[in-house]
Structure 1
């Protein structure tokens, strides 16, 4: 009953490829934009992919850096977990390697707090993969569950996770925050911190401004209806080597044009030709179909700078202008002399620190970082704050994260940092209470313009990179429908919880 099913099934009765006149523009070169452009190109659509940055990748982008010791390294935007229920993302990645040989098992997924707190670490990767059995095993094994404490848990609030329904849950819970939901659950302080707060932060939102309905949807997608377990993979080398250079070659092989350093400055209807995209310092591009796959700030700016689009689709413009952004977040990559304890996990979630939310040991994960560390007897450690405190500089936040790491892992205090590559970003989506009903979906009231990204509403259970891929394929399928071709299949976990009332 928990096996993945097809949200969109194949149609062998329809043509696989479109006619010779189909054209499309895709704005944005992250996971969503590349997925849309690639599948459209495979189906015979003449596609140009426009990316403002000098490289593809979006929030998985990379850049070169020369370190003080003279070595050249590739630095990434930050760690991303490729969970195994990301069926559609993995289907796109199989275009690069059918066996996904470039992904490696990250291993455990511990949640830790500093020793002075006195809480034993949790690790959810050893739980059974079958939903419901995983909950039973969690209750039996986890130090966060004590029978005397479970008596105080509000069963109705707790069962809302198993009653998830994409309509009913949002009608009943979208008006309040995840913090209110967690307050109502009645779990112990340890249980709340270890099981829920660290999970909520992973979506770049504080629980005080994160919709309770969105939180329940994520519990459904990652745990209560997920038949793959919480194991996750990650590329075995930097994203440029494993993803973006191979994707560029594959796009060009299928006839797509990949243009980086091309910033779209406005969109406008183009009569019978479809759409025009004005590009900074370059001629406008024209195509029948348009997919906008940029992040929240870039999408807001682009629509606001497109008066003809605003006039043609005022409803879309209002929704886009009101889009909430997630919390600012900080990533620092530390190139160090020395290493942490060999028993430390590759990825560790951190709870109850003011700034630090996760630690990733890239020299135990990624080929290029491993080579750099081996040559210098060092380590490459990434610290991530998913929702950093406001009003502090990046340098202050990095100092705080390093102090919190030393409190978490005492041996980290002895690391000598040769270089810290640190950045603060504000491009994650927000999922504020009460916004669900007006969140834009893939299809818009501007004919021929589709949206894609991890912030776009979708009926298919998904999040983060998988949401980006699902919305991209949904946009592709609308193009293929108009062109008379068969849809691209979309797979999903079951859309409703095991205890959701049947209608």
Structure 2
């Protein structure tokens, strides 16, 4: 299997549980409710139903995919367009997520590669990932040395002692070393040039929807390992070739339905009761249904998970309940999608990350790769452009409506500043949304974060806010915890599990591991 999903020969296989050689006591076919139809819940449902478990998936929204979901909106002219929460990058290191997508698309033909991920700062300096060597550490070195914000003499000014943790990242070891430090302070301690720090590291850290001062340095180091020093898959990525529902989740829905998964969308789970001393459960939803099941996968987002646990006194347990309640959401983010009546200049990239251009974090030109946007452009002759603002600070004196209007105005001004031709375009239609449901990977949070396993043997958690001690992040963390949750229940019933995959679980380069060891010894 590893040869089908990775170019990296050092990909690590984490074997799933083997089928029991002894009969496992159970009354017939196990029944499970999966709460949440995002990536984590879909992985869990897939892992379970493929081993013969009866699965019912309950999703609060009317669509699947969670924060990578898609839906249809109607424009003012009556036309219908695809909408989502915004751009998602499907990196080649997302092995377990790709295993899910391959269920309905074996060749991953519904993903299309982007050839670059350029970044621009407030002075117009541009970084590019095109043509970088794939092998560590030369990928990171080449990126730094050809950056307009990083000069050769800056290499000599770096503090090797402070940077040492980047050379040999292990999980959970890196969290024990750096989770008490914020990412911004960590980068300063390395003596990374401020301009390069803002352009490269801050752009990546804000993909966690928070400012570097609010983010754990351990998460930043783990991310650097996943994308640079721990993997030779490269930093480039694929994107769905149409709206997420059309490309990803409708085909997967058909795959799972054909195998017996029952979907209940637009439905919210209200409470979970323990039955028979915790050996089984009753799941109550707002449609009046009560499901008697042998297992539950709680794969809701952070606010949804807290709500279900708080409303389910049977689930409360010392320390664990507080662990769930301690999960925090990142600051809100804003997405503005514009349908322009004139095309964006043809040389503009599909995706552009920005730094120092508050409140804008990135620009996507969807008709570069998305068939839904291309269809609209073919009819109207314009472009579909998406603007993101992450980690918006609270302003108690300003209501959301006033904040929305200010963001719309400021984001549009930034678009015109970076892509001047768009200032001549009219806006044929606009859609925007606020969200505040992404987990915050804050300083010191790791030790408090709940695991997949819970005090109740038939209840497991999944999602990108859940702790799993593997080098994974973002959508891949959601997918990995989903598969792992399924494996946990399958092992309980003596059924064969699913193998998981990751980038190397320790520093990839012997020279860097040696240097890290020497630097650590020098600090004693």
1:470 equivalent to 2:480? Answer yes
Q: Could you tell me which residue of structure 1 aligns to residue 366 of structure 2? A: 362
Taking the aligned partners of 1:125 and 1:10, their CA distance within structure 2 comes to 40
State the Cα distance separating 1:11 from its structure 2 match: 4.4
CA contact (8 A) 2:34 2:57 kept: yes
Q: Could you tell me which residue of structure 1 aligns to residue 184 of structure 2? A: 179
Taking the aligned partners of 2:184 and 2:411, their CA distance within structure 1 comes to 24
Q: How many residues align?
A: 496
Q: Could you tell me which residue of structure 2 aligns to residue 34 of structure 1? A: 42
Q: Could you tell me which residue of structure 2 aligns to residue 495 of structure 1? A: 505
Taking the aligned partners of 2:25 and 2:162, their CA distance within structure 1 comes to 49
Taking the aligned partners of 2:359 and 2:273, their CA distance within structure 1 comes to 42
Q: Could you tell me which residue of structure 2 aligns to residue 210 of structure 1? A: 215
Q: Could you tell me which residue of structure 1 aligns to residue 280 of structure 2? A: 274
Taking the aligned partners of 2:344 and 2:268, their CA distance within structure 1 comes to 42
Taking the aligned partners of 1:174 and 1:379, their CA distance within structure 2 comes to 42
State the Cα distance separating 1:18 from its structure 2 match: 11
1:413 equivalent to 2:418? Answer no
**Gaps spanning 5+ residues in structure 1: where?**
none
CA contact (8 A) 2:35 2:41 kept: yes
SS of residue in 1 equivalent to 2:208: coil
Give the alignment partner of residue 243 of structure 1, picking from 241, 248, 262: 248
Give the alignment partner of residue 75 of structure 2, picking from 59, 67, 77: 67
State the Cα distance separating 1:118 from its structure 2 match: 4.5
Q: Kindly report structure 1 stretches of 4+ aligned residues shifted beyond 4 Å.
A: 9-15, 17-20
CA contact (8 A) 1:221 1:461 kept: yes
1:46 equivalent to 2:54? Answer yes
1:132 equivalent to 2:131? Answer no
SS of residue in 2 equivalent to 1:97: coil
Q: CA RMSD in A?
A: 2.0
Deviations 1:214-240 (A, max 9, x none): 111111112111220011001111111
Taking the aligned partners of 1:255 and 1:353, their CA distance within structure 2 comes to 49
State the Cα distance separating 1:10 from its structure 2 match: 7.4
Give the alignment partner of residue 115 of structure 2, picking from 107, 119, 126: 107
Give the alignment partner of residue 491 of structure 2, picking from 474, 481, 489: 481
Q: Could you tell me which residue of structure 2 aligns to residue 22 of structure 1? A: 30
**Gaps spanning 5+ residues in structure 2: where?**
1-7, 518-524
CA contact (8 A) 1:360 1:382 kept: yes
CA contact (8 A) 1:18 1:480 kept: no
CA contact (8 A) 1:125 1:229 kept: no
Give the alignment partner of residue 94 of structure 1, picking from 102, 116, 123: 102
Taking the aligned partners of 1:452 and 1:195, their CA distance within structure 2 comes to 30
State the Cα distance separating 1:22 from its structure 2 match: 1.0
TM value normalised by structure 2: 0.91
SS of residue in 1 equivalent to 2:411: helix
1:376 equivalent to 2:380? Answer yes
TM value normalised by structure 1: 0.94
Taking the aligned partners of 1:190 and 1:32, their CA distance within structure 2 comes to 36
Q: Could you tell me which residue of structure 2 aligns to residue 293 of structure 1? A: 299
Give runs of aligned pairs for residues 319-468 of structure 1, distance below 5 A. 319-391=323-395, 393-468=403-478
Taking the aligned partners of 1:450 and 1:185, their CA distance within structure 2 comes to 39
Taking the aligned partners of 1:483 and 1:12, their CA distance within structure 2 comes to 9
